[in-house]
Amino acid sequence: MPSHFYAPTKQDKFAFGIWCLQNRGRDPFGDQTRPELSALECIRGLAQRNCYGFEFHDNDIIPFEADAKQKKQILSDVKKALGDWGIKATMATTNLFYHPLFKDGAFSSTDPAIRLFATQKVMNALDVAAELGTQVFVFWGGREGVEVDASKDPVEATLWFREAINFLCEYVIANDYDIKFSIEPKPNEPRGDLYLPTVGSVLAFIATLDHPDMCGINPETAHIKMAGLNPYHEFAQALDAGKLLDVHLNGQKPLRFDQDLSFGSDDLKDAFFTTKLLVDHKYAGTIGFDAHPYRSEADPWDFVDRNMRTYKIMQEKVRQFNDNKEIQDLLKDIHGANPNLRGLLTKFSKDQAKKLKEMTFDVPALTARRLPYERLDQLLTELLLGVL
């Protein structure tokens, strides 16, 4: 393949969080290593690289302390940029974690004033999102959790969280905004344990909301791997539930601090299967990246390029996998047993149950079936390594 084969186009629907590009390299043990780019610089750089969209927290573009006039000016500048540069604001969210006010939670704070302040902040951010034409609005509960479990009952905390989301759904309806909510799980960091730690917990939480149809999920590779779970399976459950509204792709060594590495930089197989899921199931949302450059980088652009490039390489690998004769023959064989017995569980009837109750099975034969998974996995390995 010529190298430009993997160059991004608008059709790829790539998007980056502005905060990823604004990341200054600060960490718990070290100072800033590079200057913070302005939001407009980030947006322009992404547009120049054929990115479809950008994602933002309210405070990525509008400072916490900005007054109404400043806010208006900033929004006007951003809207002009969208038009001039041909890029969309694909996802918006609220920063409910940076300010010390939120030190013990926003929606799950024990102080009802803080819960109200957080809700108000989201309402304002929703107004901004609507003005910029953003249709996906994310909740990541970065401070919704505890170190000290004695401090609050998780059932009560969940109730407060639910109340806020329900209220905000109504606000969107009342304003007739064309916006869906997307909740992003994470198991821990910055809090000792965060509420809604996993994809499943978010999906289950949504099922308890007043307007589940307005809510989906925004799974992130790294957050999944921080609990040692399998991103392919976790993204799949979201998709199966019809809730895969948005994705945050990146990389992470399992079960350690949140690294936010580039997509595919740690685990090529995970990256392949995540891509395969999105391709096979015709996921139509944006391909969002939520990661940041290594602290040793001077600017974010090599980082931006590589995430998109790796995704496109993986798309091509998926195509090869789906076209490879030996792989597909193996899969046909693996999935081809007893075709006449398919579908017998689809619909229950007493007769069907009786029939099943009386069926006899050739246990030794069922046990003996060959499952050439070492071979299959090796074919994939060699396909990934480009030597098949």
Question: Does 273 participate in binding a second copy (rule CB under 8 A)?
Answer: yes
Tokens of 266: 């740690």
The contact pattern for a second copy, residues 278-297, with x = CB under 8 A and - = no contact, is: --xx-----------xxxxx
Least separation in angstroms between CB 301 and a second copy: 9
Q: Is the omega angle on the peptide bond into residue 212 within 30 degrees of 0, that is, cis?
A: no
- Is 57 among the catalytic positions? yes
Q: Is 4 a catalytic residue?
A: no
In whole angstroms, the minimum distance from the beta carbon of 257 to a second copy comes to 4
Stretch that binds a second copy, among 36-44, 69-77, 79-87, 259-267 (CB under 8 A): 259-267
The catalytic residue among 4, 12, 31, 60 is: 60
Given 50, 188, 209, 283, the residue binding a second copy (CB under 8 A)? 188
Under the binding rule (CB under 8 A), the answer on residue 7 touching a second copy is no
Residue environment code for 223-240, b if the CB has 16+ CB neighbours within 10 A, otherwise e: bbbbbebebbebbbbbbe
Does position 213 interact with a second copy (CB under 8 A)? The reply is no
Stretch that binds a second copy, among 7-15, 74-82, 151-159, 176-184 (CB under 8 A): 151-159
Q: Which residues pair with 89 in a beta bridge?
A: 54
- With CB under 8 A as the contact rule, the residue among 69, 112, 176, 323 that binds a second copy is 112
Residue closer to a second copy, measured from CB, 102 or 139? 102
Cα–Cα distance list, 363 to 37, 338, 339, 352, 368 (Å): 65, 14, 17, 21, 9
Shortest reach from residue 50's CB to a second copy, in Å: 18
The yes or no reply on residue 170 touching a second copy (CB under 8 A) is yes
- Beta strand 145-146 pairing with 193-194: antiparallel
Site for a second copy in 289-348 (CB under 8 A): 293-298, 302-303, 305-306, 309-310, 313, 317, 321, 327, 331, 334-335, 337-339, 341-346, 348
- Cα 78–Cα 56–Cα 282 angle in degrees, nearest 5: 110
Whole-number minimum distance, CB 61 to a second copy, in Å? Answer: 18
Residue bearing tokens 């995704």: 311
Tokens representing residue 231 in the block = 């991103």
Q: Which of 177, 268, 279, 283 binds a second copy (CB under 8 A)?
A: 268
Task: Please state, in angstroms and rounded to a whole number, the distance separating the CA atoms of residues 9 and 307.
Answer: 13
Task: Take residue 223 and report the two structure tokens written for it.
Answer: 């957050």
Residues in region 35-74 near a second copy by CB under 8 A? none
* Residue ranges in 79-108 that form contacts with a second copy under rule CB under 8 A: 97-104
CA–CA gap between residue 308 and residue 302 (Å, rounded): 10
- Minimum distance from CB of 284 to a second copy (Å)? 16
Which residues, including other chains, have CB under 8 Å from residue 13's CB and lie 6 or more apart? 52, 53, 285, 286, 287
Q: Are 82 and 88 in contact (CB under 8 A)?
A: yes
Tokens of 10: 């608008």
- Which sequence positions are flagged as catalytic? 57, 60
